[in-house]
Structure 1
Amino acid sequence: MIQKFHQRLPVIKIILFVVGYLWMVAIPLPELGRTTYIDENALQPAQVSTYWNWGDVHTADRYLEELEKLRDRNATSQEYVQSTSVPHTLAYTFDRRADFIKNEFQRVGLSAATQKYSFSVGNTNLTGANAYAVSSSPRASGNEAMVIAASWIRRHDKGEEELNLRGISTVLALAKFLKGYSLWAKDIVFVVSDGYLDGMQAWLSAYHGATQSNLRADELPHSSGVIWNALAIDYACHSFSHLGVFHEGVNGRLPNQDLINSFERISRYTGGVPVVVYDHVQDHVSLPWMPKFIRTNPTFQKYATNAKNVLRHVGYQAPGTPSGIHGLFHQFVPCSFPEFTC
């Protein structure tokens, strides 16, 4: 019996490979998928009143104006000016950008601080300063927290770097808005990280007490509990037609789907804004080489769109590098860390 099994082992391997590849091809089939639904019965998105209004949007616009002034003055994360105490030397000054963010957090009554860091990468040093604030929940012990974050440089897919000014102004406006309510069961931590990925990596390492041989970062004077959820905002444009969800993490980690589904429901029914996977609008898939009766078939079009999204997901996961700061959270807490972009 065992000898016969060994003789047929090559055939069995081929059959298993074929079945595996056929299953991969079948993944985009609409019949195998389910529409967006909420698995947790306690969650009831789009079933409550919305208090965020145009006044809060106006607040975000005012923050944006101040951030644009910093940009126009070319305020960097590290500035060196002529020392007033020692002639002909350069003295490190407090980071203007991080200082501005910290002051705005403090104005709305939050405990805020800055964190300077330095990465050594070969012969290059990446230096910067993060700003963050903690809003303690009056109804909880502070053992759990959620994070709302934005980086100074938005995700760019190896293209030209852009500043994430609207994303940062939205974080500041949310901090002011959420501070006015005492409904939260978790602490809320607001983080504006410097750079692209380096600032958030430095902040997360310090928050969780992790060490890296090439990282030097200040300790965090304000802290909270275990991070269960995080929301990263990437919003560099002035208007948008869709909201894209970036949810991939390093080493194949993925977030809790209920958070993404809740966001999709709220955006669709409350905000009236469609949501797409990543930042690709799911338009009509053009396959001119296919026979017309196939490419115009609605079921085939749905399959082609799903297959395109699967390939996009593989493309974002395969490099092993997150496309934004959202992907850095997975290495510390395997929970819900998507990023939303316009």
Structure 2
Amino acid sequence: MGLLTDPGAGRGKLTQILVMYYNKLCVVLYIAGLVWFALLAHEHFNAGTYFSENALLPGLVKGDFDEDMTAKNYQSELLEESSRYPDSVPYPWLLAKFRQLSLDVYTHNFTLNYPLGYGTKYTGKNVYAILRAPRSASTEALVLSVPYRPPSSAHPGTMPSIALMLSLAKFFRRQKYWAKDVIFLVTEHEQLGVQAWLEAYHQTTCGRSGVLDHGDMTGRGGAIQAAINLELHAEKIGHVDVKVEGLNGQLPNLDLVNLVHRMCSKEGENSNHRDPMKEWFHQLKTLMAMVTTQATGIPNGNHGLFHRFGIEAVTLEGFEKREKGSPAVFYQLGRVMEGLFRSLNNLLERFHQSYFFYLQPTTDRYISIGMYMPPLGLLCAALLIKAFGLWLRMQKDPADSASAPAGRKGDEDIREVDKEEHSGEGDGAYSVEQQVVNFSLVPVGVAVLATHVLGVALLSAPRPFTTVGLEWGGLATETSIYVGYVVAALVMILIPLLASSIGGNMESWTLLNIVALLELATLLLAVSMHNFSLALLAATIYTPPALWMTPAKNSPLSPPPPRASNSLAILSQHSLLAINRHAPGHMTSAGTHPSHMCSLLTSSPPAHRSIRRWTILALNPPTRYDLLFRAALSPLPIFPSQPY
């Protein structure tokens, strides 16, 4: 009971040391967290990949694909046919080729009601064919998807992918071992077409009703177990990138990634994940490339939209061979795809045994969540320890409450403030004096409320920015949003003046600093459960200024007004404001990327195309695809019961 009743119980030696040295301890924790994460790229601190799902049986698959000449013929015909459709998909040719293979062929129409325009609509059509499983009742399915890009597209072409898909469909049609339906999907408008097809297939709507009219389907297969998105940019491939990052940083099951790497290695392909290297420095660069891509929350391929439906998917992107050496042609790539689908055909249940949270420094090594979370914990611990140290400096001493003047007990509290801190040569003495100070929660409450309101306003700003820009200046959607966020960022320079007009003493601003530190640390830990990379980068950027900024009393040597500058420092470190402050280039606290809202479709008017590409590069350099409006409107998975 002594700990509960002794007023001096909180002034032990450990507490005194913490109050005296918490700033140095926070710096040590921050540096230790960064060093720990950097060391994870070394092979001694990560583990080699392995298969947890034995049913895949990748070593027992023997390649029999022999339709490489057929793929070359398909590519020649498609190149000739595409010249007649410079801005659209050659639907008659695709439908005819699929029907010649005796597959169930369907088309899927969808419409996008542009959410930031006045009645603007975009239409699209997907083509898909289903190879019915001869050994089952169409209860499960696999998907092979390819985005069609016309000759006028700004993105690299994918016609070799469609040619290989058709040759695989012809080869698969002759086999009798299929226990799952195989769906061959050709989409229009990049990720928008995939999202519309998935919504129509599952008969659901992922975001705001009325924006994306996904239409209806006349034919379906079984429940989709896995999907492979294929993007080949040339007939002769030099290397294949395996893309795994999905919407809001969601990743596929590690077993699927291992399967792709194993099949590519078996056929002698130079398959890699972000160009991995053997040396630690190159492995660190590979690891950071994955972290920065995942932190954006934007899928780096059409596979990223399957994850929210509980479907494991990856993208294989092949680049043209430019160096010396033997390239990979349709024969090797066809055998890789055959091995993937035959292994997936062996699955008896959904992927569930391996990791869903991981990082990869190389193709054959991984870092599990149990290894990469402690470094982030150290970064957040620095924020929590500083908040605790500041609280100890101003904590209330109940024993002295009776000594306060009677007329001031209602509005004032007894607070401990440091009057002298010094270390003795022997035992490091520490002395504290008590004094009566004014303390008010009004400045703290006003600052916290204003910051949250500002964050919510910026999150909802794209539509008002678009309306104002169109009515007053006749600006395009992308330009209106970009200029609007730039103006909002400049207006925030006035925050010091607003903060200084609120009033309050040093103890009030110290309490605000504590609240901001606690909320920032809590938000970082919460975000790390969904997108670790975003939390890590945010912690790395915002922890140093958060540790450096501390309220201080006015003094003749302080810049005028010192209280306003310190309040600005505290307000700028608020977690919600910090992530939303430069909204055009960062993820918002709700996981919505504003640049989703300013991208146009490939079929947009030519006058807007140059503006669209310039704006996307300015707002989000990693983005290489037309972004999906639905992903911005509904960032969370619709099937929370599935692991993600």
Q: TM-score, normalised by structure 1?
A: 0.79
Q: Pick from 24, 35, 48: which aligns with 2:48?
A: 35
Report the counterpart of residue 3 of structure 1 in structure 2. Answer: 10
Among residues 283, 293, 303, which one is paired with 2:280 in the alignment?
Answer: 303
Q: Give the equivalent residue in structure 1 for 2:71.
A: 60
Q: Which residue of 1 aligns with 2:96?
A: 103
Q: Which residue of 2 aligns with 1:263?
A: 260
Q: Is the 8 A contact 1:99 1:131 kept in 2?
A: no
Q: Which of residues 183, 195, 199 in structure 1 aligns to 2:189?
A: 195
**Residues 104 and 17 (structure 1 numbering): CA distance in 2 closer, same or farther, change over 3 Å?**
same
What's 1:293 paired with?
A: none
1:219 aligned to which of 216, 219, 225? 216
Equivalent residues in 2 for 1:115-154, closer than 5 Å: 115-121=108-114, 122-123=116-117, 124-153=120-149
Report which of the two has the higher share of helix: 2
**Structure 2 residue 230 is matched with structure 1 residue 230:** no
Structure 2 residue identity aligned to 1:316: T
Aligned equivalents of 1:179, 1:153: Cα separation in 2: 26
AA of the residue aligned to 1:60: A
Q: CA deviation at 1:141?
A: 2.6
Q: Secondary structure at the match of 2:225?
A: strand
* C-alpha separation in 1, matches of 2:30 and 2:238: 42
Determine the structure 2 residue equivalent to 1:294.
none
Q: Distance in 2 between matches of 1:117 and 1:6?
A: 64
Report how far residue 146 of structure 1 moved. 1.1
Q: Which amino acid aligns with 1:191?
A: L
Among 293, 313, 323, the alignment partner of 1:337 is 313
Residue in structure 1 matched with residue 159 of structure 2 by the alignment: 165
Cα deviation digits, residues 280-310 of structure 1 (max 9, x gap): x446xxxxxxxxxxxxxxxxx6211211111
Residues in 2 aligned to 1:199 and 1:48: alpha-carbon distance in whole angstroms: 33
More strand as a share of residues: 1
Structure 2 match to 1:112: 105
Aligned AA (1:245): V
Residue identity in the other structure for 1:63: Y
Aligned match of 2:244? 247
Name the Cα RMSD after superposition. Answer: 2.5
2:63 paired with 1:50:
yes
Partner of 1:204: 198
1:153/1:311 CA distance change after superposition, 3 Å: farther
Give the direction of change, closer, same or farther, for the CA distance of 1:206–1:3 in structure 2 (3 Å limit).
farther
- Secondary structure of the equivalent of 1:182? coil
Name the CA distance, whole Å, in 2 between partners of 1:6 and 1:236.
Answer: 63
> Deviation digits for residues 82-108 of structure 1, max 9, x if unmatched?
xxxxxxxxxxxxxx6233222222211
Distance 1:181 1:322 in 2: 34
Q: Which has the higher contact order (CA 8 A, sep 6+)?
A: 1
Which amino acid in 1 is paired with 2:83?
D
Structure 2 residue matching 1:242: 3-state secondary structure: strand
Asked whether the equivalents of residues 259 and 336 of structure 1 are also in contact (C-alpha less than 8 Å), the reply is yes
State the secondary structure of the residue aligned to 1:116: strand
Letter in 2 for 1:341: E
- In 1, distance between residues paired with 2:240 and 2:59? 17
Q: By how many angstroms is 1:242 displaced?
A: 1.6
Return closer, same or farther for 1:266/1:230 CA change in 2, 3 Å cut-off.
Answer: same
> Distance between the aligned counterparts of 1:208 and 1:179, measured in 2?
26
CA contact (8 A) 2:276 2:283 kept: no
Q: 5+ unaligned residues in a row in structure 1: which ranges?
A: 78-95, 284-300
CA separation of 1:185 and 1:13: change in aligned 2, threshold 3 A:
farther
Letter of the structure 1 residue corresponding to residue 10 of structure 2: Q
* Identity score, percent: 29
SS in 1 for 2:93: helix
Give the drift of 1:258: 1.6
Whether the 8 Å contact between 2:41 and 2:283 is mirrored in structure 1 is yes
**Structure 1, residues 216-264: CA drift from partner, whole Å, max 9, x if none?**
2331111122211000000011211222100111122111222221222
The question of 1:321 aligning with 2:305 is answered no
**Partner amino acid for 2:222?**
G
TM-fit CA distance, 1:16: 5.3
Deviations 1:82-135 (A, max 9, x none): xxxxxxxxxxxxxx6233222222211111111122212233533221000111
For residue 68 of structure 1, what is the amino acid of its counterpart?
A: L
CA contact under 8 A between 2:249 and 2:296: conserved in structure 1? no
Q: Could you say which structure has the larger radius of gyration?
A: 2
Shift in alpha-carbon separation, 1:3–1:120, aligned structure 2, 3 A? farther
Residue in 2 that maps onto 1:287? none
Query: Using the alignment, how far apart are the partners of 2:219 and 2:84 within structure 1?
Result: 30
TM-score, normalization: structure 2?
Answer: 0.43
What is the distance in 1 between the residues matched to 2:188 and 2:131?
A: 21
| Counterpart residue identity of residue 212, structure 2 | L
Instruction: Say if 2:82 and 2:90, in contact at 8 Å, map to a contact too.
Output: no
Distance 1:6 1:230, change over 3 A: farther
Separation of aligned partners in 2, 1:237 and 1:42: 33
In the TM superposition, what whole-angstrom CA distance separates every residue of 1:162-185 from its partner, at most 9, and x where no partner exists? Answer: 321111111111111112112122
Q: Distance in 1 between matches of 2:252 and 2:215?
A: 29
Q: How many residues are aligned here?
A: 297
Tell me the equivalent position of 1:182. Answer: 176
Contact 1:147 1:231 in 2 (8 A): yes
Q: Distance in 2 between matches of 1:23 and 1:226?
A: 42
| 2:273 equivalent in structure 1 | 277
Specify whether residues 46 and 98 from structure 1 end up closer, same or farther in structure 2 by C-alpha distance, changes over 3 A only.
farther
Q: Distance in 2 between matches of 1:14 and 1:247?
A: 34
- Is the partner of 1:37 in helix, strand or coil? coil
